[in-house]
Structure 1
């Protein structure tokens, strides 16, 4: 900007717009990532999560979306594993910023109790990282691997995506 002062409402109008999502990275007790197959795109595997509703924080969003998409009411404390930035891509015309939280390790009983919303997801899968590597796109695997590493090391990561998976 030129250094000219603008009233807040005018300045805000010049800034890029973004949507925000929150999601939970969950594994089984052996640290095998759990993902959900997207109903609208069967090649896409996702973590429980979605876009924030008005008045919600990313953490509240992640918990709500997990409950809506899986039926699970997780009671873990917020622990950020990654921030994910996406520029406008394809038909999505705004930036997108995601907060990926640690949803913990689920017991076999919890995994078996998952009830999917068929409008959102068609399948739950629990697989070791080396199997996920074969089953998802390289870009999706890079994100999965980085988030799994963040959980192992305790150091949150920053991810940028510049193309569609």
Structure 2
């Protein structure tokens, strides 16, 4: 490279691009993860969340998506549990994908019973132990669940690839 500075619109053409998502990880009062069944798949269980809109921060996305997908108005603290990087070669997508998993805290039985799903996005929600989730999740998605659950218990932030 010649060392000359490129205008920003030219420079961004030379670097990696990524889409991004954000979500909230909830458990019940017994520490069991709460997940939603995706409408687009018979095997995908996930947390309330989704892709970020233009101009939106990861936190804003997680809170917005949670409200849209469950009816829960989340007012808890901004606590990051994990960052996930998925390289474009690891999935059928034209860019890298970066995710932010925030701690949604603990839901009471009443709050769980009050979840209202958007049927266009999710068909069910369940509360299971981490071990029980292993039986119904893909290995990749279960690895993410296990790492996020462990990060929450240990009070650290997990970094995940894949």
Confirm or deny a common fold (TM above 0.5): yes
1:136 matched to 2:137? The reply is yes
Q: How much is the aligned-residue C-alpha RMSD, in angstroms?
A: 1.1
Aligned to 1:78: 78
Greater mean deviation of Cα atoms: 40-49 or 131-140: 131-140
Q: Residue deviations 1:70-107, cap 9 Å, x none?
A: 00101111000000111124441111100000001000
1:4 deviates by 2.6
Aligned to 2:153: 152
**TM-score normalised over the length of structure 2:** 0.95
| Change beyond 3 A, Cα 1:90–1:98 | closer
Aligned pairs (5 A) from 1:49-68: 49-68=49-68
Count, aligned residues: 160
The gaps in structure 1 that reach 5 residues or longer are none
**TM-score normalised over the length of structure 1:** 0.93
The gaps in structure 2 that reach 5 residues or longer are none
| Change beyond 3 A, Cα 1:3–1:112 | farther
